[in-house]
Structure 1
């Protein structure tokens, strides 16, 4: 279920993986793994960290919208970095397993799709953090109305 969901989402934004020999690697291991890590690891755990740890347990004064936007940016960068490192590692592993030698100067052809994937995953990380924020923000007495008062 998640494999098809994340494959559909990423391919809707990026198109099919390039080069074509990497399609199975992206669809079977990279898209679902990175997608689940972004949804739960970055989105949910990031929101729980902001609302429960920072604004409930520690009672720091980080409950304003500008603080929330800073954490949104931070978690988007983390999501992009996660996607880039994971995809790059798997791509080079698949290429070495197939005996493909990347000539000097042509790495950009293989890195272009990975970089696009990292950018799209950064966007997904931000979206998932926003969605999880609306779910868990009621658990924090200090940041109940961050980023917006709705639905409270």
Structure 2
């Protein structure tokens, strides 16, 4: 289920992986793994950290919208970095296992695709953090209206 969901989301924004010999590695390993890690590992844990740890347990004054935006930026960068490193490592590991080298003409297409994947995953990380923020913000007594007062 998640494999199809994340594959369709990433391919809708990026197109099919370049070069074509990497399609299976992206669809089977990278898209679902990075998508799940971004959704639950980065965005959910980031939202729980912001609302529960920073604004409930520690009772720090990090409840303003500017603090939430900094957290959004940090998590987007973390999601982008996760996408970059995971795509590079899985692809090179898969190619080494098969004894294949990316053809010289396809190296730039691969680099562009991985860079696009990095930016799309950063966007998804930010989007997932926004969604999780609305889900868990009621758990914090200090940041119930961060980033916006809605739906309270």
- TM-score when normalising by structure 1: 0.95
| Residues in 2 aligned to 1:18 and 1:106: alpha-carbon distance in whole angstroms | 7
| Residues in 1 aligned to 2:109 and 2:92: alpha-carbon distance in whole angstroms | 13
Match of residue 110 from structure 1: 110
Total equivalences in the alignment: 152
CA offset digits 1:91-140 (Å, max 9, x no partner): 11122223223578974332211111111000000000000000000000
Match of residue 87 from structure 2: 87
| Residues in 2 aligned to 1:105 and 1:64: alpha-carbon distance in whole angstroms | 49
Match of residue 125 from structure 1: 125
Match of residue 13 from structure 1: 13
8 Å CA contact 1:88–1:111 kept in 2: the answer is: no
8 Å CA contact 1:64–1:147 kept in 2: the answer is: yes
- Structure 2 stretches lacking a partner, 5+ long: none
8 Å CA contact 2:51–2:136 kept in 1: the answer is: yes
Runs of 4+ that moved beyond 6 A: 103-106
| Residues in 2 aligned to 1:82 and 1:95: alpha-carbon distance in whole angstroms | 20
Match of residue 49 from structure 1: 49
- TM-score when normalising by structure 2: 0.95
CA offset digits 1:37-68 (Å, max 9, x no partner): 00001111100000000000001111000000
| Residues in 1 aligned to 2:2 and 2:30: alpha-carbon distance in whole angstroms | 12
| Residues in 2 aligned to 1:74 and 1:25: alpha-carbon distance in whole angstroms | 28
Q: Aligned with 1:94: secondary structure?
A: helix
Match of residue 2 from structure 1: 2
8 Å CA contact 2:19–2:106 kept in 1: the answer is: no
- Structure 1 stretches lacking a partner, 5+ long: none
| Residues in 2 aligned to 1:28 and 1:102: alpha-carbon distance in whole angstroms | 19
